[in-house]
Chains A and B, each alone.
Chain A
Amino acid sequence: MEGHAALPELEAVSWRRPVDERWLRLREAVSAAYTGVYCLPFVVLGIALVLLEPLLFPVSLVSFLHAWVIPELFAYRGARVVLPGSPSPHSRAESAAQGLLGDLLGHQERELQRTTGLAPERGTLGTWLVGEAGALMVRPGGRRIHTFCARVTEPGLPPSDRIAHLLLALREDERGFATVANHAFAGGAWRIRRRLPKRQRLALDRARQLPARAP
């Protein structure tokens, strides 16, 4: 079979550095530092205010609130890539798309996708959960997570077809998929988990237990 290993869509983002293990680790470190730089001043300010004048406690609370809200906003941005879209009517197109998507998945994966709306896929970089408008990638060990925003260029496709498009691209070239998609978040899996709807948490919990595929 005459195959092409690299995802063709990479040509459109030729300036991007290809995603690999080193890139992911660097992104995790930068993200942690970024959050620290934003939050630490508010924590220090809050403590300093109370030490200087205990009556300023309400003001220090506002400072602590800022330190709490900023990482929450980062996590919301990360979780949003797999939040369910507006409910689509049960159409014939969606049923047909669901059938094809089911053919692409194994039995357990198919059940999980139908229950949670997220299709699991074991990759070499981590375990992926593919949604309609992006994907989560749980790193080996299950503690760290990356989220990516991606879309199909054709509008009007049924939800399961959009998932199938992203799943196919991911299976063709995992690193290429991660490079083409827009990186949205890197950090602790618990930060994303608490922002997901209950049914999607189940998918994340399963993904955290699955080992990554051997390279």
Chain B
Amino acid sequence: MSRLVRLDRSGHTDLASWTAADQAAYEDAAKLFREQLAGGYMGVAKLEDDSCEQVKKLPLEADLVMLRRPIAGG
């Protein structure tokens, strides 16, 4: 089961989940993902080796995709 999670003031919010076999659930999650990107969030997919990758399109096969805010020098 793949998850789309947003890091926000509530700690984090589970926005959607899908499986590779459930195309409708994926489409719903992808629509939500696009809306969040339009709202200023950035998509980050967690890869198998624990590294992360910036994504502009919701990857079907990623287990965990997170939405984060931009960072800047402090």
Contact = CB atoms under 8 A, between A and B. Distances in A.
Interface in B6-64: 7-12, 42, 44-47, 50-57, 59, 61-62, 64
A177 B66 CA distance: 18
Contacts, number: 122
A100 B57 CA distance: 22
A13 B71 CA distance: 12
B52 A182 contact: no
Given A3-B54, A168-B66, A156 B74 contact: no
B72 interface: yes
B7 A161 contact: yes
B4 interface: no
Contacts of A156: 9
Q: State the majority secondary structure of interface residues on A.
A: helix
Interface residues of A, number: 48
Nearest to A184: B74
A153 B73 CA distance: 9
Nearest to B51: A171
Interface string A88-101: 00001111111110
Contact of B55 (A1, A96, A99, A161): A1
Interface residues on B, range: 20 to 34
A77 B54 CA distance: 32
A180 B74 contact: no
A154 interface: yes
Contacts of B44: 168, 172
A134 B74 contact: yes
A137 interface: no
Interface of A: 1-5, 7-9, 12-13, 81, 92-100, 103-104, 106, 133-134, 149-154, 156-158, 160-161, 164-166, 168-169, 171-173, 177, 180-182
Task: Report the 3 A-B pairs with minimum CB-CB distance, sorted nearest first.
Answer: A96-B11, A149-B74, A182-B73
Interface of B: 5, 7-12, 42, 44-47, 50-57, 59, 61-62, 64, 66, 68-74
